[in-house]
Amino acid sequence: MQFPDVSTLTLQRHGEHVLIATLARPEALNAINTQMGHDLLALWTWLSVESHAIRCVVLTGAGSRAFCAGGDLKERNGMTNEAWRIQHELFERAFLALVHCPVPVMAAVNGAAFGGGCETALACDFVYASREARFALSETRLGIMPGGGGTQTLPRAVGARRAKELIFSARPFTAAEAEQWGLVNRVCEPDDLLAQALETAATIARNAPMSVRQAKKSIDAGLDTDLVTGYRFEIEAYNRLVTTEDRLEGVKAFNEKRPPAFTGR
């Protein structure tokens, strides 16, 4: 398998169907600079268009201090307004590509996830976090506001009132608080974080990949509409699976009391 050509990420297969994607600028707390914006856009686009072998992605950060510190403010220092807008357009495209990625993406937050780093975790399908991880949407302290989807994804995760408090105050919060509020699915000991994330990723990867992708589409579409319309979308997604080889294999394997061998067809 030929990975996309990226310089600020490390990409590593775990088993046959799981990809570990690591934000790899530890000297800058894995902050998102322009090159990382290009690399993230390339990764999510590749997963959407070219890669059918990958069934789950674990996104984490290099080192033990940070998952991602947000936008690289050293690179942004002194940027012209026009350069800032051009860079942010790139970041916007990368965030949307992550949100629309058909492959499940889980964040393994191993340290600080501030600003765009927190928004990156929020854009993933779900989040495991180290007990030592810290989160914040800190943009109002910088004279800006969340611009990576945070005003939309945080309220969906923790509710509007909690999101307003966190965004307006820009105060950091702990992994335990994030779990209590619904942003984080599981808090892990630091040394166990990646192993637990990979265990769940492997479980997902063993399931029928077309079924998982259709379920993801249905959940995401349903959140943006009313229940009946969402249910109609679910049935459309369901019916696309009826004629697949994996549906036949799943039922046959159940009756033969063996693990299914799904092929994504």
Instruction: Report the catalytic residues.
Output: 119, 139
Beta strands in the chain (DSSP E): 9-14, 18-23, 56-61, 66-68, 105-109, 112-114, 126-130, 134-136, 173-174, 186-188
Can you spell out the DSSP letters for 156-193? HHH-HHHHHHHHHH---EEHHHHHHHTS-SEEE-GGGH
Buried b (16+ CB within 10 A) or exposed e, 49-65: eebeebbbbbbbbbbee
The DSSP 8-state label assigned to residue 32 in this structure reads B
Q: Residue ranges of the alpha helices (H) in 10-104?
A: 34-49, 73-76, 81-99
CB 130 within 8 A of CB 193: yes
Residues near 44 by Cβ (< 8 Å), separated by ≥ 6?
Answer: 94, 97, 98, 100, 101
The DSSP 8-state label assigned to residue 125 in this structure reads S
Write down the number of H helices and E strands in the chain: 11, 10
